[in-house]
Structure 1
Amino acid sequence: MIPNWLLQRAYLTPHKIALSFGDEKWTFVQLKDRALTLARKLSANDLNEGDRIALLGPSNAEMVFVIHACMLAGLEIVMLNSRLTEKEIAWQLDDSGASAVLVFDGLENNVAQSNVQTLLFSKVKESAEEPIELQEQWESDRTLTIMYTSGTTGFPKGVRQTVGNHVSSALSSVLNLGLAEDDVWLCAMPLFHISGFSILARSVLYGMEVRLYEKFDAIQAAKEIQTGTVTRMSVVALTLDKILRELEKKDAVAHLSFKTMLAGGGPVPVDYLDRAQNRKIPVLQTYGMTETSSQTATLAASDAIRKIGSAGKPLFFNQIKIKDANNAGDKGEVLIRGPHVTPGYIGRFIELDPLEDGWLPTGDIGYFDEEGYLYIVDRRADLIISGGENIYPAEIENVLAAHPGILEVGVCGQEHAEWGSVPIAFIVASGSLEVDELTAFCEERLARYKVPKVFRFVDQLPRNASNKLLRRELKEWTGLK
Structure 2
Amino acid sequence: MENWLTKRATLDPNKVALIFEYTDFTFTELNSTVQLYASKLYQHGIHQGDRVAIFTANSFNGYIATLALQQIGVEIVFLNTRLSESELSFQIADSGVTDCLIDDNLKHSQLDNVSVSKTMMSKILSMPASEEYEPVKEFKNDDVTSIMYTSGTSGRPKGVLQTFGNHFYSAIGMSLNLGITDDDSWVLSVPLFHISGFSIMMRSLIYGMPVYLIEKFDETYINRILINERASIISLVPTMLKRILNNLKTGQNFNDNFRCVFLGGGPIDNWTLLRCQMLEIPVIQSYGMTETASNVVALNFKDADRKVGSSGQALFPVNLRITNQDEEGIGDIEIKAPNVAKGYLNQPDLFAAKMTDDGFYRTGDLGYLDKESFLFIKGRKDDMIISGGENIYPEEVENIYGKIEGLESIAVIGVDDDDWGQIPVAYVTTDKDAFLNGQDLIEYGRNRLAHYKVPREFRLVEAMPLTSSGKLLRRKLGNLDYQKI
Q: Distance in 1 between matches of 2:444 and 2:284?
A: 28
Deviation at 1:366, TM superposition (A): 0.6
RMSD: 2.0
Name the structure 2 match of 1:418.
419
SS across alignment from 2:338: coil
SS across alignment from 1:197: helix
Deviation at 1:392, TM superposition (A): 1.1
SS across alignment from 2:477: helix
Give the 3 Å change call, closer, same or farther, for CA 100–350 of structure 1 in structure 2: farther
Deviation at 1:395, TM superposition (A): 1.1
Deviation at 1:113, TM superposition (A): 3.3
Equivalence map 1:110-129=2 (5 Å): 110-129=110-129
Q: Distance in 2 between matches of 1:89 and 1:422?
A: 36
Residue identity matched to 1:276: C
1:471 correspondence with 2:474: yes
Give the 3 Å change call, closer, same or farther, for CA 392–117 of structure 1 in structure 2: same
Give the 3 Å change call, closer, same or farther, for CA 190–356 of structure 1 in structure 2: same
SS across alignment from 1:3: coil
Q: Distance in 1 between matches of 2:170 and 2:386?
A: 35
Name the structure 2 match of 1:83.
82
Count of residue pairs the alignment pairs up: 478
Q: Distance in 1 between matches of 2:30 and 2:362?
A: 38
Question: What's the CA shift string for 1:328-381, capped at 9, x where partnerless?
Answer: x51111000111001111124577425222110000001001111111110111
Equivalence map 1:28-107=2 (5 Å): 28-105=27-104, 106-107=106-107
1:442 correspondence with 2:453: no
Q: Distance in 2 between matches of 1:127 and 1:480?
A: 57
Name the structure 1 match of 2:456.
453
Deviation at 1:245, TM superposition (A): 2.2
Equivalence map 1:76-475=2 (5 Å): 76-105=75-104, 106-130=106-130, 131-247=132-248, 249-325=249-325, 329-349=328-348, 352-353=351-352, 354-357=354-357, 358-430=359-431, 431-435=433-437, 436-475=439-478
TM-score if structure 1 supplies the norm length?
A: 0.95
User: Does the CA contact (< 8 Å) of 2:379 and 2:393 recur in 1?
Assistant: yes
User: Does the CA contact (< 8 Å) of 1:95 and 1:348 recur in 2?
Assistant: no
Deviation at 1:85, TM superposition (A): 0.4
TM-score if structure 2 supplies the norm length?
A: 0.94
Residue identity matched to 1:464: T
Deviation at 1:223, TM superposition (A): 3.4
SS across alignment from 1:101: strand
Which stretch shifts more, 380-389 or 433-442? 433-442
Deviation at 1:251, TM superposition (A): 4.4
Question: What's the CA shift string for 1:148-190, capped at 9, x where partnerless?
Answer: 0122333211001100100000011011111232212111100
Structure 2 gaps of 5+ residues are: none
Deviation at 1:262, TM superposition (A): 1.1
Q: Distance in 1 between matches of 2:79 and 2:218?
A: 22
Give the 3 Å change call, closer, same or farther, for CA 102–471 of structure 1 in structure 2: same
Structure 1 gaps of 5+ residues are: none
User: Does the CA contact (< 8 Å) of 2:153 and 2:472 recur in 1?
Assistant: no
Residue identity matched to 1:99: T
Residue identity matched to 1:373: F
Question: What's the CA shift string for 1:188-212, capped at 9, x where partnerless?
Answer: 1000000000000111111111111
Deviation at 1:72, TM superposition (A): 0.7
Deviation at 1:87, TM superposition (A): 0.4
Q: Distance in 2 between matches of 1:241 and 1:108?
A: 29
Which stretch shifts more, 302-311 or 398-407? 398-407
Residue identity matched to 1:257: N
Give the 3 Å change call, closer, same or farther, for CA 350–7 of structure 1 in structure 2: farther
Give the 3 Å change call, closer, same or farther, for CA 422–216 of structure 1 in structure 2: farther
Q: Distance in 2 between matches of 1:375 and 1:183?
A: 28
Residue identity matched to 1:393: P
SS across alignment from 1:137: coil
Q: Distance in 2 between matches of 1:350 and 1:326?
A: 29
Deviation at 1:246, TM superposition (A): 2.4
Deviation at 1:109, TM superposition (A): 2.2
Deviation at 1:456, TM superposition (A): 2.3
Q: Distance in 2 between matches of 1:434 and 1:108?
A: 40
User: Does the CA contact (< 8 Å) of 2:427 and 2:460 recur in 1?
Assistant: yes
Give the 3 Å change call, closer, same or farther, for CA 351–459 of structure 1 in structure 2: closer
Q: Distance in 1 between matches of 2:31 and 2:349?
A: 34
